Structure 1
């Protein structure tokens, strides 16, 4: 089989640390184009991996005609660029949040369907080994029904991650639209939906900018979630965990509790009501400081190779986004909000 010709639009940190090296390591992929408004960044990856460098993605789509494209751009550009890529006949892998509105998300899904291409969203939390193990344990039924939960994602902020530091688009409201909730919160809404195989039906939230000066983007949020099953829990996203970063989830169930990502070595701990304790060392979760393979790129490529629709589909990305949009609406209206 001929190799999948892949282009990357946006050559910032997520491309540098995850997309580009993971494509380069995949035997089914040929990297054919890199696009960034900062020409030197695109040039750098073209020299490193072959392919052509562009500053105009539309020109790139016309001249290179890639089979698949990663869209790694400021949030406000995810929908329009992904739609253009789909209309050019290429499969789309878009970073989260997939869009900034419900209508944009629907338009992306429609564009992919119309053009017969796949649309996948980069929700890598589902693929991290502790979460995969946790879901396996839940599926055995030994813990019974999940009753309550908390899920949290916090770090010191994108200035420590973004290639542009404190000058990053992450802090410019007109480009980011949403801050910590779009960066981290949407990961956790996706995770809890997937882990529990359940949908969020209602949200009450505090979303605010507590400490990052000079930005209107939210840097903290605490949300109450009600699930379709009746389970209730909290979702927290923060850019001000200056010490003690967190990417953990705890589930309290009928027959015990499960702690995921709360211990540095025992990534999954199950405590049953009969006193039994099970500890699993399955590999740590990726952090900004310690990168591990995300699994997203390999999953995307596998979908194309086998012509199998992605499980982390546009529809799934939109359901996870809707939870975050409901949180913003709750903050604005000071009321509980039903999720679309």
Structure 2
């Protein structure tokens, strides 16, 4: 017998990632949609099958629903995810887990009290190139990691968001809170933590609203660019750039510099991982293209979430790990 899942928030992330991956999962029988805009919920229910509820309380009080994806905007995560956990639901929360560490820790308290699973959608951990890179680093095939650089930039959320407009909530301080830092940056912070089995604890950053304007023609209230220097607890140093103003091809690349060579990740269109060794040997891996806003592929996140529920396993991205990444974003935003 399959399971019923609920989705809170029926924007682009639900339409392109959560709903199709739930529909494709053989363990999921039913998807129940809620959005403040009833029309959006009905649209997704028509597109993917499933039913609609008119209030979030109806979703939370439905005992047939055992798991929920919280795809609401950033400022609502600590409300929706906390309530879902306390209503006995397993929760997959979109990133960032909350708009600040304090709210995120409230979610962790609710998770501990409920005994339910909490997973956070840091999907870069699941790509084959990142998995292979982690394996090479763990086996110390290139010796110790010394330095790194990572980038994530595209043309901005107004081209991705459900209404294709610069009135998008991503540009609003009260809803997004952290701009490009919480949208794209937190993915790469989590990735560095994952690849290096380490944690960034020192940050020097520049942030700015350099180009984006809102629906009134005014500069947006949150940063559209971040450039930072980072140092981990184990002493590795690196740089990171996050941008909503890369007005060309999306850049989602990472380079890891080790004692005996270099790992180049998502820098070549067909060889998603390239290993350049100190002795001149080059190994090229053709694994899988990374997801972009224009090219949606299966992320593996939903399958992993359902699997950890069915087999009572630790989620592959825990609330604690998400808080560790959020802590770094807070430090970046505190820099002036």
Kept in 1, the 8 Å contact 2:20–2:48? The answer is no
TM-score (norm 2): 0.96
Counterparts of 1:114 and 1:268 in 2: how far apart (Å)?
41
Partner of 1:338: none
Counterparts of 1:32 and 1:180 in 2: how far apart (Å)?
30
Runs of 4+ in 1 over 4 A off after TM superposition: none
Partner of 2:329: 324
State which drifts further: 54-63 or 317-326. 54-63
**1:27-59 Cα deviation digits (max 9, x unpaired):** 111224100111112112333444331242122
Counterparts of 1:14 and 1:201 in 2: how far apart (Å)?
30
Counterparts of 1:78 and 1:84 in 2: how far apart (Å)?
10
CA-based RMSD: 1.2
Q: How does 1:35-184 map to 2 (within 5 A)?
A: 35-63=34-62, 65-165=64-164, 166-184=166-184
TM-score (norm 1): 0.95
Kept in 1, the 8 Å contact 2:22–2:31? The answer is no
Kept in 2, the 8 Å contact 1:31–1:49? The answer is no
**1:139-174 Cα deviation digits (max 9, x unpaired):** 221211111110010000001110022221111111
Return the offset for 1:208: 1.0
Kept in 2, the 8 Å contact 1:70–1:94? The answer is yes
Say which of 257, 264, 275 aligns to 1:259: 264
**1:194-226 Cα deviation digits (max 9, x unpaired):** 000111110111011000013111100011110
Counterparts of 1:186 and 1:252 in 2: how far apart (Å)?
21
Kept in 1, the 8 Å contact 2:154–2:251? The answer is yes
Counterparts of 2:31 and 2:132 in 1: how far apart (Å)?
36
Partner of 1:244: 249
Say which of 227, 232, 237 aligns to 1:222: 227
**How many residue pairs end up in the alignment?**
330
Counterparts of 1:81 and 1:243 in 2: how far apart (Å)?
36
Structure 2 unmatched ranges of 5 or more:
215-219
